[in-house]
Structure 1
Amino acid sequence: MSFSPPPPPVFAGESYNIWAVKMKTYLQAHDLWNVVQNDTEPPPLRANPTIAQIRQYNEDCAKKYKAMSCLQSGVSDAIFTRIMACDTPKEAWDKLKEEFQGSDKTRQQQLINLRRDFENLRMKDSETTKQYADRIMSTVNNIRLLGDDFGDQRVVEKIITTLPEKYESKISSLEDSRDLSAIPLTELINALYAQEQRRANRMEEYSEGAFQARSRESSSFSSNHKGKKPMSEKKERGKKEAAKKKFPPCAHCKRTTHLEKYCWYRPDIQCRGCKQLGHIEKVCKNKPKAQSQNHNQVQVAEDIEA
């Protein structure tokens, strides 16, 4: 009665499926969708019509031009040139649909590709449940825009079967308390999101407690070790003591004065002098002569200077 709908949505050549849904609703609000869908002419007037019949006939005839005006106002100038030669609103609508949505065969191929994308969707480790659900719904909405009846229950089953293992406990509790075949999509997403929030809060509290514990340990360590020798001296003393110990025979050199990982003859180390594997430079017997002569000259020069 007092309802005045907004201007029609304008189609500029992109996202035709979304525009088509909006435009259909706009035409239905003006009682013009039947004219676009059926493209039928009103029956002619009978002999001696009444004033009401004449008025109704004129209104039915005007609907055709009203619908055509809405379609022409709902496209940009570049798109208008493609439908300006159409005589009826149905002809203009079908022309736009064929050009921007494709034929039935093309739409069927698009549906196949979108269903394949839907089946291949998996939740990433860095995603939240809401982000994953939004990514799924983006594909589902594209399927629905092509005219396929895609229910929310399939989305619920997809989310439940592709969630990571960390959500297993929540899914089990939902199975015990609810019928997952009838649970709404929004309720499932909110329940999983609440579990994520609780887990994030616990991790934050644990991190703060661990940081405080490390701070207390470091302060107590510094207070207990005042006036003591530096750590480097302790390491050197520990190495000397370890050198006096006897170890199991080394697998490389058969000696008992060191551990196997500190052996000079390990097969995975490379000599810097001869570039061969199996020993270090300190015990190399194949040093280049030039290098050994240079070393001797340097040694003599140092002796003279001394």
Structure 2
Amino acid sequence: MADSSKGKDRQIGLSYPMLTKINYTAWAMKMKVYLQAYNVWEAVEPKDPKAPIEDKADKRAMTMIYQEISEELLLKLAERTTAKQVWPAIKTTSLGADRVKKFKAQTLKAEFESLKMNETEQLDDFCFKLNGWVAKIRALGESIGEKYVVKKILRAVPTKFLQITSTLEQFGNLETMSIVEVIGSLKAHE
């Protein structure tokens, strides 16, 4: 009877998640459940740290983990020989990359805040540049809302737009105004 249940485990054919630069937390949660389902989680996190880990369980856990990481990460982990060593190394590497991403996003946000449109610059060129910054920041997982960008545009344009920006701020609803509406109003003034 035990043999038939092992056969059923093999027939399930679980699909492991691929680790990317942005999904470590979800990946780790799923992989832990998969490793538990195959009774090899103890190779990663033993209940008794002094107890020896079964070699077959360790190799199976390593196989499952290695299937879903990039070759680049695999090469970084080459010196680690057990699942117990590999798991925390993946965590450190992934969360470290996450910290770098957050730092990069904060740097981009600071640079975004300092953007100003030059007197001689065309509105279309400035807005294209501004949208590029917004896209870069969003690509790093940070959110920038429409009203935040609207207010930034109004702060960043030169004094030749002072009359129209004042009108928009006084009589328009900046909470609901779209980027397209603001750019359209500025272009009409330009």
Give the TM-score normalised by structure 2: 0.51
In 2: Cα distance, 1:161 partner to 1:128 partner: 16
* Pair 1:185 & 2:186 matched: no
Partner residue of 2:161? 167
Report the AA paired with residue 133 of structure 1: C
Counterpart residue number, 2:130: 136
Aligned with residue 67 of structure 2, among 66, 69, 77: 69
- Shift in Å at residue 95 of structure 1? 1.7
Report the residue type matching 2:28 in the other structure.
V
Q: Does the CA contact (< 8 Å) of 2:66 and 2:74 recur in 1?
A: no
Moved over 6 A (4+): none
The structure 2 residue matched to 1:114, chosen from 108, 112, 116, is 108
Q: Distance in 1 between matches of 2:133 and 2:117?
A: 14
Structure 1 residues 176 and 95, CA gap change in structure 2 (3 angstroms): closer
Any residues of structure 2 matched to 1:226-245 within 5 Å, and which? none
Change (3 A) 1:121 1:35: closer
How far is 1:154 from its partner?
1.8
Task: Tell me which residue corresponds to 1:41.
Answer: 33
Question: Could you tell me whether the CA contact under 8 Å between 2:149 and 2:179 is conserved in 1?
Answer: yes
Distance 1:93-1:152 versus aligned 2 partners, 3 A rule: farther
For 2:135 and 2:73, the matched residues in 1 are separated by 25
Where does residue 11 of structure 2 map in the other structure? none
Structure 2: 5+ residue runs without aligned partners? Answer: 1-17, 39-59
Answer whether contact 2:21 2:94 (CA < 8 A) is retained: no
Q: Structure 1 residue 123 and structure 2 residue 117: aligned? A: yes
Aligned letter for 1:69?
Q
**Alignment RMSD:** 4.3
What 5-or-longer segments of structure 1 have no aligned partner? 1-7, 9-18, 28-32, 46-60, 200-306
Structure 1 residue 152 displacement after superposition: 2.6
Letter in 1 for 2:93: K
The CA distance in 1 between the partners of 2:134 and 2:75, in whole Å, is 33
- Per-residue Cα deviation, 1:239-267 (whole angstroms, up to 9, x for no partner): xxxxxxxxxxxxxxxxxxxxxxxxxxxxx
Report deviation, 1:161: 1.6
Counterpart amino acid of 1:95? Answer: T
CA distance in 2, matches of 1:187, 1:90: 49
Counterparts in 2 of 1:83 and 1:175: CA distance versus 1, 3 Å:
same
The alignment-based identity, stated in percent, is 18
Larger RCO (CA under 8 A, 6+ residues apart): 2
3-state SS of paired residue (2:33):
coil
Distance 2:181 2:91 in 1: 39
Distance 1:149 1:44, change over 3 A: closer
In 2, the alpha carbon distance for the partners of 1:145 and 1:94 equals: 22
Amino acid at match of 2:175: S
